[in-house]
Amino acid sequence: MKLAIVGAALALAGCVPSSPLPADLAARLDPIAFFTGHTRGSAVLHKAFSPAVRVRVDSFGRGDGHGGLVLDQTIREGSKQPRQRRWRFRSDGHGSYRGSLTDASGLVQFVVTGPRANIHYRMKNGMAVDQQLALQRDPRLVINRLTVTKFGLRLATLDERIHKID
């Protein structure tokens, strides 16, 4: 009986939609401008059935020569060895961006609405990732909430503060 209750609670928790992150409603997030140059993210990762772990992401973005961005990242998750990943994306001219990510299987899509961007992709292991970026009053700060799900169950969340360094 207890196992059934825990399973039902987990299933319902995975289905709760994320509320919008606080943002500077007078601003518009331009992901290419924000992520060009150095940024540093400090985060806490919560995985189901595991203790929370600190994550640091150091990024460097540069133009791709075609109006898009190449963003190289070094991710340090707790005591694990650092890992590298690369984003490539460009605007479609209508507030949406499309591209690729080394962790993703297929297309990475995101839509910017005012100060927020919603990003969606599927990881190579089949898990779905949804991210919300929100530009703050300090235009050098974006907050990020990332949620990982599989079969409708929430497996992990990450809450991050991303600072533009230069």
Instruction: Say what the pLDDT of residue 157 is.
Output: 98
pTM across the whole model:
0.88
Main-chain phi, psi angles of 91, to 5 degrees: -75, 145
Q: Residue 92 contacts by C-beta under 8 Å, 6 or more apart in sequence? A: 98
- Look up residue 114 and give its DSSP letter: T
68-77, 90-99, 129-138: least confidently modelled range: 90-99
Phi/psi class of residue 25: alpha, beta or left (left: φ > 0; alpha: ψ in -120 to 50)? alpha
Strands 69-77 and 153-164: unpaired
Backbone angles phi, psi at 45, to 5 degrees: -105, 125
Tokens of 114: 């005012």
Angle value at C-alpha 134, between 131 and 139, nearest 5 degrees: 140
* Each residue's pLDDT tens digit, 19-38: 899 999 999 999 999 999 99
Instruction: Calculate the CA 135 to chain-centre distance.
Output: 13
Residue 13 confidence (pLDDT) above 80: no
Least trusted range by pLDDT, from 17-26, 46-55, 73-82? 17-26
Q: How many Cα atoms occupy the beta-carbon half-sphere of 65 within 13 Å?
A: 0
The Cα–Cα gap between 24 and 1 comes to: 46
Query: Residue 3 has what DSSP assignment?
Result: H
